[in-house]
A and B are shown apart, each in its own frame.
Chain A
Amino acid sequence: MEQVDGGASAAVAPGVDETGLPIIRIIGELDISNVALIEDQLAALVDDAARPLTFDLSSLTFMDSSGLAMLLRTADQTGPIVIRQPTGTVRRIIQATGLTDVLRVEA
């Protein structure tokens, strides 16, 4: 994982789920310190990824509104995004901000 000057560490990588469908994994912590770096890495994967764009966030230990904004900018290009296995807090901030139509949470 890459870290930005004492800030958060995260990584983004393409993968497949247990049924062979393509997904994108984000692992680590996502906040204002590293969101630009991760968004650049994500942009390189999005064009070739299947739709709906599906993220596995089971190993994303932290995300705040900076990360939500990144996902929303991505959804603006790709259409609604599927979010799999978010932590409880990530699930709650998606609900609290009324974004469940754009960021569709699956168990």
Chain B
Amino acid sequence: MTAERDFPYAFAAVTQARHYVLDMLNGIGDMVAGDAAVMVSELATNSVRHAATGFTVSVDRTTEQITVAVADPGPGEPRMRAPKPTDGSGRGLRIVNALADEWGVHTNSGPGKSVWFTIANIDERFSKGGNGRGATR
């Protein structure tokens, strides 16, 4: 299943993008949903703060893994930084790097880029988490 939606340039669009992804991941288990929610929130926040544009969120869900991408027309490639505790920002991609199985950046020939992440082995996480879906196997 693949779906995508456009969001406007607004702080509230970050909340709405997160709720959209959670709707698409309905029934998937708390840990996967929670991690996906924080990662999409970080990427959407980057689009709003740094690209200063609207953005598009796509969600691809299979039985094995989910892939979520946030695309915006802003120039430049996002970089992972190492902020000090006193720094007010710069932690978004570090969080994505820690929680995702894989992540990366697609750049287009023109301006704009898409930052994506995957969470893999979703069935396995269900079993380990004691979720009912794993127990029925």
- A positions within 8 Å CB-CB of B: 4-8, 29, 31-33, 62-66, 68-69, 72-73, 75-76, 87-89, 92-93, 95-99, 101-102
- Give complex CA distance A64, B17 in Å: 13
Segment of B59-67, B69-77, B86-94, B116-124 engaged in the interface with chain A: B86-94
Query: A5's closest neighbor in chain B, by CB?
Result: B12
Contact indicator A31/B34 (Cβ below 8 Å): no
Asked whether any CB of chain A lies closer than 8 Å to the CB of B56, the reply is no
Q: Can you report 25 A-B residue pairs in the complex whose CB atoms are below 8 A from each other?
A: A6-B10, A7-B16, A8-B12, A31-B15, A31-B41, A31-B45, A32-B11, A32-B45, A32-B48, A62-B18, A62-B38, A64-B38, A65-B95, A72-B86, A73-B88, A92-B35, A92-B99, A93-B99, A96-B94, A96-B95, A97-B83, A97-B91, A97-B98, A98-B85, A101-B85
Interface residues on B, range: 20 to 34
- B117 smallest CB distance to A (angstroms): 13
- Give complex CA distance A63, B41 in Å: 9
Query: B96's closest neighbor in chain A, by CB?
Result: A96
Query: B98's closest neighbor in chain A, by CB?
Result: A96
Contact indicator B99/A64 (Cβ below 8 Å): no
- Name the 5 nearest CB pairs between A and B, nearest first: A96-B98, A7-B12, A89-B34, A6-B12, A65-B91
- Give complex CA distance A32, B41 in Å: 9
Of B31, B37, B85, B97, chain A has the most CB atoms within 10 Å of the CB of B85
Residues of A within 8 A of B31 (CB): 88-89
With A64-B41, A89-B34 known as contacts, the answer to whether A7 contacts B15 (CB < 8 A) is: yes
Asked whether any CB of chain A lies closer than 8 Å to the CB of B30, the reply is yes
Which residues of B (23-48) have their CB < 8 Å from a CB of A? 30-31, 34-35, 37-38, 41-42, 45, 48
Contact indicator A93/B38 (Cβ below 8 Å): yes
Of A29, A64, A101, chain B has the most CB atoms within 10 Å of the CB of A64
Contact indicator B38/A32 (Cβ below 8 Å): no
- Give complex CA distance A87, B30 in Å: 10
Residues of B within 8 A of A73 (CB): 88
Asked whether any CB of chain A lies closer than 8 Å to the CB of B57, the reply is no
Residues of A within 8 A of B115 (CB): none
